[in-house]
Structure 1
C-alpha cells in the first residue's frame, strides 16, 4: 500500500498516475477537500502526529510514502521523515532565481522581516497565506500591510483570530496580482518560493511590470533521505520499490 500526502496540484497528479497504473494507495490531506472519484485508492483527512502516522502506516500496511504536499509544510516534512519509511518527494517545478534589483530572496521569515523593518514599503501585499499572519506580525503591526487569503469562511476566521482587521484582508484566489497592485496601490510584495504551481513566475513578472520590489521566502530544505521524483518517473520509482519489496 502507498500513502500519498497531497492537497496540492502535485498530489492530484500523483493520485491520477496511481489510478492509471492500478496501484493501491491512500490519499491524505490536512483539511477535507473534494477529490476525483477513486477506484484504486481511499481518502482520509486530518493532521497526523508522528505517533499517529506510524500507527496508521502499520495498520494500513504502508510500504512507501509519496510526499506531494506543499513545499512549506515543514512540520509535515519532519513528521513523514520520522515515520521511518521510504519517501518519494513529488517535486513541483521551480523557476530559476531572478536576478534583479527589485527581487529579494531570504532564507527565512525572520531574515525577510528584519530587512523589511529597516527598509519598509508604503503598502505591502502579503501573499504568504493565512497561516503566516502571526509569523510576520512584528511588521504589519507597525506598517500598512494587506493580506490576500483564500475566499472561504475558515480563512477569514483564522485571519481575524490572528488580529487582522477585516479592512486589511483581500479574499481572492491567486492569479490576480496585477489587478491587486493597481487597485490597492501596492508598493511591495511578500511571497514564498512556492514554484510554478504557486504562480511564483507570475508574481515576479507582475511586480517587475509595476516597478515594485518583491520579497521571496526561500523554500525550506527537505529532510535527508527523501528521493526526488516528478510525474515522469514516479511510477518507475514506485514499481521498482514495490517489486523489490
Structure 2
C-alpha cells in the first residue's frame, strides 16, 4: 500500500516523516517553489502534469489513499485531490491545522474575497501584506493607490513587475515577535493583511498588531469539498492512517 501526501507545509513534512518512520510507504508531493524538504521518503516536485495528471499518477503508482496536507488556501489542489480520489476509487483525507481565533483585544476585519479587502484598504497609508503570493490583478489593485506604501513579504520573489509603491521583502518563517515589531515600526505599518493560516510559524504578526493596536484584514479560509476524514491534530491523523494501512 502506498500513501500520497500532498504537502508543502511544515505539517506535511512532519506527518510524512512520522509515517515513513512507522513503515508506511509514502510519496510526498510538493510544488517546489520555496525549498525542497529533507525527507527519507520518495519526493516529487512540480505537480502531476508531467505524469499525465493526478489520476494517472495514482493509477500508475498504485496509490491506496491521498492525504491532503496542503495550505488551507490551496483550494485548487484540494479540489483536484478529492476529484482524483473519487475517480480512482480511493479515500481522500485532509489535515488542516486549526485556524487562528480572534481575541477581544484584536482589531480584525474579515473578508471573503480579495476584491472587498483591497477596496477597504484605500484609507490606509502603509500596508503590511503578509498573505503569501499575489497575482498580477491583485498587484494592479494595490498599485492603483499611488499614495499608499505596500510592504509585501513572501518566501519567493513575485513573478510580476512590482510598481514603485510596493516594496518586496524576502523572508521565510517562523517569525519572531522582535522581528515583526521591527518591520511594523520601520515601515510605519497601519494595517496588516493576512490569511488565517493557523499554526505558530507566522502568528507573531497578529500578536504585534494587537500590541500596537493595528487592524488586521483577514482573508477567511475558502470552503473546500468534503473528504472522507478531516483531521486537526497530527496524532489523530497518524492513528487513522496507521489503522487503515495496517489492516
TM-score (norm 1): 0.85
Cα offset for 1:238? 1.5
The DSSP-based 3-state class of the residue aligned with 1:189 is strand
The separation in 1 between residues aligned to 2:166 and 2:196, in whole angstroms, is 27
Q: 2:227 aligns with which of 225, 228, 233?
A: 225
Determine the structure 2 residue equivalent to 1:45.
Answer: 45
Please identify which structure carries the higher helix content: 1
Can you give the 5+ residue segments of structure 2 that lack an aligned partner in the other structure?
none
Determine the structure 2 residue equivalent to 1:208.
Answer: 210
Determine the structure 2 residue equivalent to 1:128.
Answer: 131
Q: 1:146 aligns with which of 117, 128, 151?
A: 151
Quick check: 1:9–1:197 contact (8 Å CA) kept in 2? no
TM-score (norm 2): 0.84
Aligned pairs for 1:1-245 (under 5 A) are 1-31=2-32, 33-38=35-40, 41-48=41-48, 52-83=53-84, 84=86, 85-100=90-105, 102-117=107-122, 120-132=123-135, 134-135=137-138, 137-142=140-145, 143-150=148-155, 155-156=156-157, 158=159, 161-165=160-164, 168-174=167-173, 175=175, 176-200=179-203, 202-229=204-231, 230-243=233-246
**CA 126–226 in structure 1, closer or farther in 2 if over 3 Å, else same:** farther
Quick check: 1:10–1:68 contact (8 Å CA) kept in 2? yes
Let me know the Cα RMSD of the aligned residues. 2.3
Quick check: 2:150–2:165 contact (8 Å CA) kept in 1? no
Cα offset for 1:74? 1.3
The DSSP-based 3-state class of the residue aligned with 2:53 is helix
Cα offset for 1:114? 2.9
Deviations 1:53-90 (A, max 9, x none): 00000001111111111111111011111102311111
Deviations 1:201-231 (A, max 9, x none): x222111212221111011122112521231
**CA 144–87 in structure 1, closer or farther in 2 if over 3 Å, else same:** same
